[in-house]
Structure 1
Amino acid sequence: MSRTVKGRYLSLAATGAALSLAVTLTGCGSLVGDNEVTLRVVAADYGDNPQNSSAAYWKDLAAGFEKTHPGVKVEVSVYSWSEVDAKVAAMVKEGKAPDIAQIGAYADYAAAGKLHTTDELLSVQTEADFLAPLAEAGKVRRTQYGMPFVASTRLLFYNEKLLADAGVIPKDGRTPWQPKSWADLEAAAKKLKAAGVPTPFALPLGREEAQAETMMWMLSGGGGYTDNEEAYAIDSAENVRTFEFLRDKMVGQGLTGAAEPGKTDRQAAFDAFTRGEVGMLNGHPTLIKQAAEKGVKFGMVPLPTADGTPQPAMGVADWIMAFKNGHRVESGKFLDWVYDSKNVTAFTRKYDLLPPTTSGFRAMEAANGGATAQLKPFLQALPNSRLYPVGKNSWAAVSESVKQNIGRAVQPGAQPAKVLEEIAVRARAEDKR
């Protein structure tokens, strides 16, 4: 999930960011013979402790593949999200790129000509199975290099008890909240404030994941980071109106609590939500478990839009890529194995994430009960979601610029148009490099 749980969903990876674990796995541990090929794979860890490390998943995956593909061995090195991107970058710089890497971004390597395209690797069936918005996000100049590994979307979480006590929803516990517009959101936040809720609506625009919170609001206002031609449109009229609403109606009326949004990180907002101090906030699937463990009863709905007109949710994906190491055929066979429906489903169920494939989507959609049922609202938003412009080499720099500056746009007396224009000018300059 930037740091999908940060621009990754963290990409999606907030769950593994704290783990400093590196594990090397070999499917069966035997020496490689003269006629055998060894695939070196680097993967990110989605676990938050040694007991639920992704290492176990990759070990089983490699062993299963080797049993049906004699002559190919798979060695997987699993690193925490805090170090995996740097590890791969260092390997590439040393001329020792892995055959396959499962990390947060692919565009720089694709632009440098170091990656295979997906149609050079995958079977037609596997390539066609990717959900359309995720496949599109994996493209550079209309050619796909990045293969989505897991995905996530974002929804608005609300504390049922706080909203009921404030009179936003009935206290019968059976009537879900169904806000449609920003006016509904503002009205609910005002009632929460009047009821003494410390933070009616948490607005984390701090460095941890400001680029995600920003994109969610842009989309709900009918805008986004890019236009229909994929050119940066950060300073569009729609985006300016969005941040004027946040400045005037949410922050300006004291509906976002005492903390300054630009200095509030997402995990801090999540923690406050699980303590019962926040009425509403945007969140990803990992908040389900965090809130449940603290006994917080919550609901989840799409983020209301400016005028109630439906808009796409934000999606996030983490990526797999294959480097040009002379093992194209073997890498392709292993990737077909990775994307087998049963393997995709096993991983997404373990870590409460969303499948990147149509077959995985259908399998999750058909499942009933437990954590899968709670994930279905996120799943339903995925096919029409919008992702970060990760196919742009400039995105990393633009994301950093958003993290550093977007909080200024909602300060009392700020000029959102000016702040967005500054970010947009830098983005366009980066895009031309």
Structure 2
Amino acid sequence: MKYRPLALLGALLLSTGLVACSSSGDEQGAGGPTVLDVWLMRDSVSEAFQKEFEAGFEKDHPDIDVKIQIQEWEGIGEKVTAALASNDAPDVIEVGNTQVAQYAQSGGLTDFTEKVGDLGGDSWLKGLAEPGAWEGKQYGIPYYAANRVVIYRTDLFQQAGIDATTIKTRDQWLAATGKLDKDGVQGIYLPGQNWFALAGFIWDEGGQLATQENGRWKGGLDSPEAMRAMEFYKRLQALGKGPKDSDEARPLQAEVMAEGRIAQIIATPGGANAIAQSNPGLKGKLGFFPIPGKTADTPGSVLTGGSDLVVPSVAEHQDEAYAFIKALTGDAWQTKLALAMSYVPNRTTLAGAVASDPGAAAMAVGAAEGHATPSTPQWAAVEAKNPIKDYMTAVLTGRDAKAEAAKASRSITTTLRSGS
């Protein structure tokens, strides 16, 4: 499973010529069904699932003809921005969960606040639901989720006498990782700039990446809670030889683990497929467990990736769009989607749907403690500049943690307030 970008920068102004929006020319003929134009993202659904859903939905709604267009993630921010500003937008659009705020800010999305109860919103994953809201109103409807887990070498754990199912706390995780880190094996490969993992540790400690008070944002890396999280990250990172000045994509950590001497990485479960493809000898030797929390009764917090479904306010078929969203995000089709795509369903009550898939099941446990990045359109600019990475490298290379945390927090504050 590919991990979705957690935020994409959208252009403020773009010519509408870039957009292939809904096809008003395909409207129903006299007495024919309403054509519902839908944009879903690449790898959001398989071809088989798409056909099954369309057939099932149209059987239940014979007055609606669903036309799904698969979109690419590259450049989608600009394309959606242009669609929302046009008079010919698609009826339903899949967007990254942390993109909703920037689109809602423009006033271009339909408000579903009064429909939350009807859609079963009381059990939505908060990592999808919270970023789908803007200024107290719900615009994005949770679609599916993905988050990081620990991918580990079952054979190396067995050789070290470690039962991964017993690792429930951070202290147990550190002890096991230290036991693995010997005889040429790295206990864990954790690059110094994996800020996604750090974010989870910050939430575990009760901290935040940024906080809002009286309508103004402030960076939170210099809080005592966030600094404790960075200290834990430093201890864990030291139990391997991960680079201190790069992230999990440089080099690709799956390729590093495929070299054969890495006991663990923190990644989405799809990373196991990439590892086995690079090194077929590791096929069948990779397992998963949720990132451990501070106590055994609560798994570690994770950054929730995934998607929400939105409806442009200019979309012509509002009722039909709502019917589509209600079906695709409801229990029956969420269960089928999770099994077909190894995703985490959009609600906690469906976690058992992926029990037969070890990677997805581990994700589902963590998803219950899922969080989102700060719900503000300016967060995308923070990620583009990303002072969090620079801060992590500075601490790991011996610079003063308190001073560097304050510096990074000031940078986050400035960026978040730039759009005020």
- Cα distance 1:301–1:266, how it changes in 2: closer, same or farther (>3 A)? farther
Q: Which residue of 2 aligns with 1:15?
A: none
The alignment partner of 1:103 has SS state of: strand
Hey, what does 2:16 align to over in structure 1? none
Q: Distance in 2 between matches of 1:121 and 1:307?
A: 36
Kindly report the root-mean-square deviation, in angstroms, between the aligned alpha carbons of the 2 structures. 3.6
Q: Secondary structure at the match of 1:262?
A: coil
Q: Is the 8 A contact 1:153 1:313 kept in 2?
A: no
Hey, what does 1:99 align to over in structure 2? Answer: 91
Distance in 2, Cα, partners of 1:260 & 1:296: 30
TM-superposed deviation, 1:214: 2.6
2 CA distance for matches of 1:129 and 1:6?
Answer: 22
1:38 maps to 35
The count of residues paired between Structure 1 and Structure 2 equals 394
2:265 maps to what in 1?
281
Aligned partner of 1:411 among 380, 392, 396: 396
> Equivalents in 2 of 1:110, 1:220: separation in Å?
29
User: 1:133-144 alignment to 2 at 5 Å?
Assistant: 134-144=128-138
Paired position in structure 1 for 2:252: 268
Alpha-carbon distance between aligned partners in 1 of 2:197 and 2:112, rounded to the nearest angstrom: 31
Q: Does 1:81 align with 2:78?
A: no
Question: 2:382·2:416 contact (CA, 8 Å) conserved in 1?
Answer: no
Tell whether 2:74 aligns with 1:90: no
Residue in structure 2 matched with residue 295 of structure 1 by the alignment? 283
In structure 2, distance between residues paired with 1:306 and 1:71: 52
Deviation at 1:346, TM superposition (A): 2.1
The superposition leaves residues 368-393 of structure 1 with CA deviations (integer Å, 9 ceiling, x where unpaired) of: x4x2x54323223323332323x222
2:139 is matched with which residue: 138, 141, 145? Answer: 145
- Shift in Å, 1:215: 1.2
CA distance in 1, matches of 2:407, 2:232: 19
TM-score normalised per structure 2: 0.79
Q: In 2 relative to 1, CA 70–231 (structure 1 residues): closer, same or farther, beyond 3 Å?
A: farther
Contact 1:146 1:320 in 2 (8 A): yes
Classify 1:380/1:411 alpha carbon distance in 2 versus 1 (closer, same or farther; 3 Å). Answer: closer
Is 1:203 the counterpart of 2:195? The answer is no
TM-superposed CA distance for 1:61, in Å, is 2.6
Mark the runs of 5 or more structure 1 residues left unpaired by the alignment: 12-21, 48-52
- TM-score w.r.t. the length of structure 1 is 0.77
Aligned to 2:56: 64
Alignment match of 1:322 (pick from 311, 317, 329): 311
Cα gap change, 1:127 to 1:162, in 2 (>3 Å): closer
Q: CA deviation at 1:288?
A: 4.3
2:105 to 87, 111, 127: 111
Query: Could you tell me how far apart the structure 1 residues matched to 2:171 and 2:123 are?
Result: 39
Q: Pick from 197, 211, 224 the counterpart of residue 237 of structure 1.
A: 224
> How much identity, in percent, do the aligned residues show?
22
Partner of residue 162, structure 1 = 156
Q: Which moved more, 1:261-270 or 1:345-354?
A: 261-270
**CA positional deviation for 1:89:** 2.7
Contact 2:168 2:299 in 1 (8 A): no
TM-fit CA distance, 1:102: 0.4
Cα displacement (A) at 1:24: 10
Is the 1:286–1:352 contact (alpha carbons within 8 Å) kept by the matching residues of 2? Answer: no
Match of 1:385 in 2: 370
Deviates more, 1:135-144 or 1:317-326: 135-144
Contact persistence 1:122–1:335 (CA under 8 A) = no
5+ residue gaps in structure 2?
A: 9-18
Assess, with a 3 A threshold, how the Cα gap between structure 1 residues 60 and 111 changes in structure 2: closer, same or farther.
Answer: same
SS of match in other structure, 1:75: strand
User: Counterpart in 2 of 1:124?
Assistant: 118
- Of 174, 177, 181, 1:193 maps to 181
